[in-house]
């Protein structure tokens, strides 16, 4: 069910080639045409999704198997939000739930049956199956898919995608021996700016790592913090 997705990102790119051109200043398509830049955007998008997601296989779900219950939940202590990893705005078609059936014969391993997922509350990690598993057949439901620690949306992902795409674009255009048509004053094999901007520590790459860290570890930040004024003494003040 598409309306249940915690991700608003879809197959449509959430950062455009025009936005990368505004940031980098590479306005000439002769430097890098739009299809090639969009390919770099796809690479940036996929890379970031892989950074923020954890793929798990066979994670036991919490819930009764009694022939009546169809609702199961991700266990505590793991990422509790299901990622729409294929970007189809529907996590129910993006995961798999397997039902385990133990063999009654010694030495024979259990078997797994793929269940049909009816719907999913991706934000709270609740999965509803199409049919209740029978306790006479199954003893455990297991989750396979991608998990993240917090809900993400377009605003969370757009900046790191933009900065990484800018970094990839900059490396693609400003390699030694070329002169970008957008700015003929830069470029060349001995350009000192090229040496800085084309490496892993480029300005765009540094911004990408900063924004990615915020996405991966969203923490509340203090709105303000009191600091001592110049010349203010360290010892506590005394009342008159």
The residue assigned the tokens 């793991």 is 78
114-117 long-range contacts, Cβ below 8 Å, gap at least 24?
115/141, 117/92, 117/93
Under the banding of pLDDT at 50, 70 and 90, the label for residue 20 is very high
* % of the chain beyond a pLDDT of 70: 71
Identity of the highest mean pLDDT range in 144-148, 217-221, 234-238: 144-148
The chain-wide mean pLDDT, for the chain, equals 78
- Over the stretch 189-218, which tens digit does the pLDDT of each residue have? 444 444 444 444 478 999 999 999 888 775
Task: Look at the pTM and tell me if it is higher than 0.85.
Answer: no
pLDDT digits (tens, 9 = 90+) for 41-99: 989 988 887 888 888 999 999 999 999 999 999 998 776 788 777 666 677 888 999 99
- Cα–Cα distance between 133 and 70 in angstroms, integer? 7
Whole-number pLDDT of residue 178: 53
């Amino acid at each position: 069910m598409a309306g249940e997705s915690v991700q608003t990102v879809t197959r449509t790119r959430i950062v455009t080639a025009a936005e990368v051109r505004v940031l980098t200043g590479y306005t000439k398509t002769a430097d890098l045409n739009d299809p090639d830049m969009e390919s770099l955007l796809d690479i940036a998008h996929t890379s970031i999704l892989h950074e923020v997601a954890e793929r798990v296989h066979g994670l036991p779900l919490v819930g009764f198997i009694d022939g009546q219950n169809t609702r199961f939940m991700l266990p505590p202590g793991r990422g509790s939000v299901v990622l729409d990893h294929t970007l189809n705005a529907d996590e129910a078609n993006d995961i798999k739930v397997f039902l385990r059936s133990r063999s009654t014969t010694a030495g024979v391993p259990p078997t797994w049956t793929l269940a049909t997922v009816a719907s999913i509350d991706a934000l709270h990690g609740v999965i509803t199956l199409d049919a209740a598993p029978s306790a006479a057949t199954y003893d455990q439901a297991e989750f396979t898919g991608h998990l993240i620690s917090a809900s993400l949306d377009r605003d969370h992902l757009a900046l790191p995608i933009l900065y990484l795409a800018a970094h990839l674009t900059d490396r693609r255009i400003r390699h030694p021996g070329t002169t970008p048509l957008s700015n003929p004053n830069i470029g060349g094999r001995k350009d000192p700016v090229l040496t800085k901007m084309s490496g892993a520590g480029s300005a765009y790459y540094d911004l990408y790592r900063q924004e990615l860290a915020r996405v991966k570890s969203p923490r509340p930040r203090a709105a303000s913090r009191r600091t001592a004024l110049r010349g203010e003494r360290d010892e506590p003040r005394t009342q008159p």
